[in-house]
């Protein structure tokens, strides 16, 4: 391939500047709150101040009397239309507006619809609700033990607060290996409750047209097609009459995967009032009621031989789901894909059990920048491996190398049933250590220690599983997890690509055009990419779990190839040559051994003006891609920190991240994704979490308490790469949106623990606040005395 030719086409591997930026940099993005329709009304939700209480009465009269108020909706009103409850993505049910009782602070109880958002807010204050408090459970362990107070009293036959139980792996073999182990390493840790908190909150404008029956729902949605189907199922609207439009999305990170009560109420209100209804969450509503993530209490154990070989892993999870089990994850896997927790290591057996608890907290359990609990999985194994190194007196590098799945072992079948597609873990770790200057850094650390300074180096070598997934195993609410692409090449050689996935900042309008460019030779600037409008795009399950590139990207490559095959027939016709004599050369077909050629643009024109006899005219097609397997991105992260022993504050001195996401479509965009993920990983490790006091009050329900790092706290990242293509993906790409959030928290925490290791500190819980560090140092000092 000639570089100059390739440059013009600018397919895979080029840092093409993003076309979507053109509207964002001039303030002409079209986010949900920018949607304004004639006669549009505004909705405000009245929420429960209490975490668990029966609703005694609701008085809406004062609110209704306020000028500008159009309606006040309560659960009773919805009940009459069988809309008071809705299904969750995990097959549970969730209250839309509470009828019997409230189960968490911030739960939706009533909705006010008014002519302006200001009046809606005024009226919401006037809705009078009487509650009778009930016992509150914020601790999942206590909730699980309890059988007196049943949080989900609405569920027939529910006699406790257990949401589900689940297991994976081989118990007998694992038990046996543990019994035979020379050494067992244990860690109990909590991956705290967090929230994706995209900068744009969730919202919708529901526009049910009373004349046509057409429901157009503008939604901050990461999965517009799935949402259309769920709307059809929940609201009983005929699916052909529902159009979900996801406009520009101001970040998603998993928050915008589920359907939320506000959407259902707004749609019902629009239907009843025959006017468009807008609902946009405030930040506190966002943090307190929609889409939390994590909240996994984990007991992990590794069995090792005395030379540091890991033989088996055990992990028990107590997961806190809040009032409704609303995880957005594949049906078959109740605890997500947490059984990827054997990570990058070759071991003989593993056994994973999980028990989900209902508590008086917000529902959610979304995959926050993560492929269904892979973050939790990666965290526990990377923490355990570092502890194992300390306990066995090995270096954290040595123990990893010893146990890595070796390059030649791929495809590798893990003991919990995943088939890792490809990897080269040693290369990735080598690269990270080289970038870090590992030996010098360790010498520096030891010198610092000798001076009494607390410097630490932390490593995490993670493996992710993304791109759900093949339809045999993966579905959400019954919908198989394939994805799609429709490609139409116009007569002038320009094209439109339509996707089932949905961008929220990842740059699909550019990178997916590059995939087409790569396969079909049409430059990206000549390709318009459409997404987010269910009337105008093929069906797909949406963008989350790093699945866009593995599924939608693959569909795009395949359909482009199919059109190229057809173009070849046209080329043969135009060149009066046989197909067998033609060669594809980046953007044209050349008759082998000659300089005769036709460009893809010539073929496109001929497809409409001069198709070969017997050939269907046009150059268009759709492909639904059912991935044969998941993809397994991996990487090696290394962090250097220094801890202030007097205040417990810690500072990241270096952060080196080597990622292998297979083939990189647009390196600039990939680096941007990694920067973002490393920042969210840092946020989790250092400051960002939601917790509840004993009365069930949410602490972290606004940006005063839910801390998001600014540019000042955020470390400066040094990125590196290795490239191990996925063997089964059409262009060898693996997906990268989440690797850094998954892999980095353990690296940061391991670094702080390494700094404190000389003092004997064994564990720190996230977020590793300066107060926790200081307390740990004091406790270690006291223990040493």
Partner 1 sequence: MYPPRFDYVAPTSLEEALDALAEHGDEGKIIAGGQSLIPMLKLRFASPETLIDINRLPGMDGVSEEGGTLRFGALCRHNQLGAHPLMTSKYHVVAEAGTLIADPLVRNMGSLGGSLCHADPQADWGSVMIALKATIVCQKKGATREFGAAEFMEGIFTTKLADDEIVTEIRCDAANGGFGSSYLKMERKVGDFATCGTAIALTLKDGTIASAGVGLTAMGAKNLHAEDAEKVLVGQAPSAELFAEAAEAAVAIADVREDSRGTPEYKKNVLRTFMKRGLAKAALRAQA
Partner 2 sequence: MEVTITVNGRTHTKSVEPRMLLVHFLREELGLTGTHIGCDSSHCGACTVLVDGTPLKSCTYLAVMANGRSVETVEGLKQGGKLHVIQEEFKEQHGLQCGYCTPGMMLVGKALLEENPNPTDDEVRFAISGNICRCTGYMNIVKSIQAAGKRMQAESADAAE
447 near partner 1 (CB under 8 A):
no
Residue from 458, 505, 700, 745 that binds ligand FES (CB under 6 A)? 505
Rounded (10°) CA dihedral 496, 500, 503, 508: -40
648 binds, among partner 1, ligand FES, partner 2, none (CB under 5 to 8 A by kind): partner 1
Site string for partner 2, 220-249 (x = CB under 8 A): ----------------------------xx
Rounded Cα distance, 123 and 108, in Å: 15
First to last CA, the chain: 70
* Residue 335, Ramachandran bin (φ over 0: left; ψ between -120 and 50: alpha; else beta): alpha
- Point out the catalytic residue in the list 222, 504, 514, 601: 222
- Select from 166-174, 188-196, 449-457, 703-711 the region that touches partner 1 (CB under 8 A): 703-711
Rounded Cα distance, 259 and 290, in Å: 9
Does the annotation count 583 as an active-site position?
Answer: no
- What single string gives the DSSP state of each residue in 1-52? --HHHHHHHT-TT--PPPSTHHHHTTT---BGGG---TT-EEEEEEE-SSSS
- Among the listed residues 541, 507, 549, the one whose alpha carbon sits nearest the alpha carbon of residue 731: 549
**Number of residues engaging partner 1 in binding (CB under 8 A):** 28
The SS3 call for residue 510 is helix
- Give the sheet arrangement for strand 495-499, strand by strand: 527-530, 495-499, 483-489, 620-625
C-alpha distances in Å from residue 119, one per residue of 40, 41, 124, 498, 634: 14, 11, 8, 40, 51
CB of 389 to partner 1, least distance (A): 30
Site string for partner 2, 487-526 (x = CB under 8 A): -----------------xxxx-------------------
Residue from 87, 91, 251, 491 that binds ligand FES (CB under 6 A)? 251
- Point out the catalytic residue in the list 47, 294, 369, 383: 369
Residue from 402, 562, 675, 691 that binds partner 1 (CB under 8 A)? 691
Report the site for partner 2 in 111-140 (rule: CB under 8 A): 118
CB of 634 to partner 2, least distance (A): 20
Nearer to partner 2, 254 or 330 (CB): 254
HSE toward the beta carbon, residue 18, CA cutoff 13 A: 19
CA dihedral over 497, 502, 506, 507, signed as positive or negative = positive
199 near partner 2 (CB under 8 A):
yes
Report the site for partner 1 in 112-131 (rule: CB under 8 A): 117-118, 121-122, 125
Nearer to partner 1, 393 or 452 (CB): 452
184 near partner 1 (CB under 8 A):
no
Residue from 171, 283, 316, 494 that binds partner 2 (CB under 8 A)? 283
Which two three-digit tokens encode residue 535? Answer: 């009337």
Rounded (10°) CA dihedral 29, 33, 39, 45: 170
Q: Name every residue whose Cβ is closer than 8 Å to that of residue 316 and which is 6 or more positions away in sequence.
A: 298, 299, 352, 353, 354, 355
Does the annotation count 757 as an active-site position?
Answer: no
- Select from 472-480, 507-515, 566-574, 769-777 the region that touches partner 1 (CB under 8 A): 769-777
C-alpha distances in Å from residue 55, one per residue of 28, 48, 154, 278: 44, 10, 14, 27
Does the annotation count 738 as an active-site position?
Answer: yes
34 near partner 2 (CB under 8 A):
yes
648 near partner 1 (CB under 8 A):
yes
Nearer to partner 1, 282 or 309 (CB): 282
- Select from 429-437, 459-467, 673-681, 768-776 the region that touches partner 1 (CB under 8 A): 768-776
b vs e for 661-681, b when ≥16 Cβ sit within 10 Å of the residue's Cβ?
bbbbbbebbbbbbbebbbbbb
21 near partner 2 (CB under 8 A):
yes
Which two three-digit tokens encode residue 391? Answer: 């306990």
Does the annotation count 370 as an active-site position?
Answer: yes
29 near ligand FES (CB under 6 A):
no
Nearer to partner 1, 567 or 683 (CB): 683
Rounded Cα distance, 593 and 721, in Å: 38
Rounded Cα distance, 477 and 326, in Å: 11
Q: Name every residue whose Cβ is closer than 8 Å to that of residue 475 and which is 6 or more positions away in sequence.
A: 330, 331, 332, 481
699 binds, among partner 1, ligand FES, partner 2, none (CB under 5 to 8 A by kind): partner 1
**Three-state DSSP string of 292-331:** EEEEEEEEEEEEECCCCCEEEEEEEEEEECCCCCCCCCCC
Which residues here bind partner 2, judged by CB under 8 A?
15, 17-18, 20-31, 33-34, 36, 118, 197-201, 248-251, 253, 282-284, 504-507, 668-669, 671-673, 675-680, 702-704, 708, 710-712, 714, 716-717
Which residues here bind partner 1, judged by CB under 8 A?
117-118, 121-122, 125, 282, 284, 646-649, 687, 691, 699, 705, 707-710, 712-713, 769-772, 774-775, 778
Which residues here bind ligand FES, judged by CB under 6 A?
199, 251, 505
Q: Hey, which residues are catalytic here?
A: 222, 369-370, 738
């Amino acid at each position: 391939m000639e570089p100059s030719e390739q440059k013009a086409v600018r397919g895979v591997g080029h840092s093409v500047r993003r076309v979507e930026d053109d509207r964002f940099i001039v303030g002409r993005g079209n986010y949900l709150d920018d949607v304004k329709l004639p006669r549009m009304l505004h909705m405000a939700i009245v929420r429960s101040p209490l975490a668990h209480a029966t609703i005694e009465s609701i008085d809406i009269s004062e609110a209704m009397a306020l000028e500008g108020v159009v309606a006040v909706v309560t659960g009773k009103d919805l009940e009459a239309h069988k809309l008071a409850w809705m299904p969750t993505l995990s097959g549970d049910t969730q209250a839309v507006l509470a009828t019997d009782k409230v189960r968490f602070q911030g739960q939706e109880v009533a909705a006010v619809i008014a002519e302006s958002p200001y009046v809606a807010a005024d009226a919401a204050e006037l809705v009078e609700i009487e509650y009778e408090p009930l016992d509150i459970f914020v601790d999942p362990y206590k909730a699980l033990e309890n059988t007196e107070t049943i949080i989900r009293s609405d569920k027939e036959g529910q006699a406790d607060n257990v949401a589900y139980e689940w297991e994976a792996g081989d118990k007998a073999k694992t038990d046996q290996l543990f019994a035979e182990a020379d050494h067992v390493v244990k860690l109990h840790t909590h991956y705290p409750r967090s929230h994706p908190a995209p900068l744009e909150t969730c919202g919708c404008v529901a526009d049910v047209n009373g004349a046509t029956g057409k429901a157009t729902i503008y939604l901050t949605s990461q999965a517009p097609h799935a949402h259309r189907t769920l709307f059809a199922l929940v609201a009983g609207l005929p699916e052909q009459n529902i159009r979900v439009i996801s406009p520009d999305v101001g970040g998603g990170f998993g928050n915008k995967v589920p359907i939320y009560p506000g959407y259902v109420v707004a749609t019902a209100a629009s239907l009843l009032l025959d006017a468009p209804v807008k609902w946009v969450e405030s930040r506190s509503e966002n943090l307190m009621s929609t889409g939390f993530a994590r909240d996994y209490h984990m007991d992990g154990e590794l069995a090792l031989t005395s030379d540091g070989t890991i033989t088996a892993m055990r992990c028990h999870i107590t997961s806190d789901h809040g009032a409704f089990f609303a995880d957005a994850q594949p049906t078959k896997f109740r605890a997500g894909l947490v059984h990827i927790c054997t990570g990058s290591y070759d071991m003989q057996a593993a056994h994973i059990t999980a028990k989900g608890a209902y508590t008086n907290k917000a529902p959610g359990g979304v995959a926050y920048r993560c492929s269904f609990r892979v973050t939790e999985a990666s965290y526990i194994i990377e923490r355990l491996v570092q502890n194992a190194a300390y306990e066995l007196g090995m270096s954290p590098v040595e123990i990893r190398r010893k146990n890595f799945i070796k390059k030649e072992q791929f495809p590798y079948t893990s003991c919990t049933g995943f088939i890792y597609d490809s990897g080269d873990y040693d290369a990735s770790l080598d690269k990270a250590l080289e970038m870090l200057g590992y030996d010098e850094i360790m010498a520096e650390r030891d010198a610092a220690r000798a001076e009494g300074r607390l410097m630490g180096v932390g490593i995490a070598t993670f493996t992710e599983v993304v791109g759900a997934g093949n339809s045999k195993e993966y579905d959400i609410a019954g919908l198989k997890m394939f994805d799609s692409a429709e490609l139409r090449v116009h007569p002038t050689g320009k094209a439109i690509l339509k996707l089932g996935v949905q961008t929220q900042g990842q740059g699909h309008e550019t990178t997916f055009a590059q995939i087409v460019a790569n396969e079909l030779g049409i430059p990206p600037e000549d390709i318009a990419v459409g997404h987010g409008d269910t009337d105008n795009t093929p069906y797909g399950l949406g963008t989350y779990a790093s699945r866009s590139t593995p599924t939608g990207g693959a569909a795009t490559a395949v359909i482009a190839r199919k059109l190229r095959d057809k173009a070849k027939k046209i080329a043969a016709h135009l060149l009066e040559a046989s197909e067998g004599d033609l060669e594809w050369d980046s953007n044209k077909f050349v008759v082998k051994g000659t300089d005769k050629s036709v460009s893809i643009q010539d073929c496109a024109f001929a497809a409409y003006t001069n198709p070969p006899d017997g050939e269907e005219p046009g150059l268009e097609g759709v492909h639904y891609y059912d991935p044969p397997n998941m993809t397994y991105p991996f990487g090696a992260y290394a962090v250097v920190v220094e801890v202030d022993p007097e205040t417990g504050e810690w500072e990241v001195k270096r952060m080196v991240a080597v990622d292998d996401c297979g083939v990189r479509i647009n390196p600039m965009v990939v680096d941007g994704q990694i920067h973002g993920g490393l920042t969210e990983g840092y946020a989790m490790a250092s400051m960002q979490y939601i917790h509840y006091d004993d009365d069930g009050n949410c602490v972290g329900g606004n940006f005063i308490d839910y801390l998001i790092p600014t540019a000042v706290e955020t470390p400066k990242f040094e990125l590196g790469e290795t490239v191990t293509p996925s063997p089964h993906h059409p262009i060898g790409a693996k997906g990268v949106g989440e690797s850094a959030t998954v892999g980095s928290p353990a690296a940061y925490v391991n670094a702080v623990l390494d700094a404190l290791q000389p003092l004997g500190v064994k564990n720190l819980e996230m977020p590793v606040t300066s107060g926790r560090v200081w307390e740990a140092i004091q406790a270690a000092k006291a223990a040493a005395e």
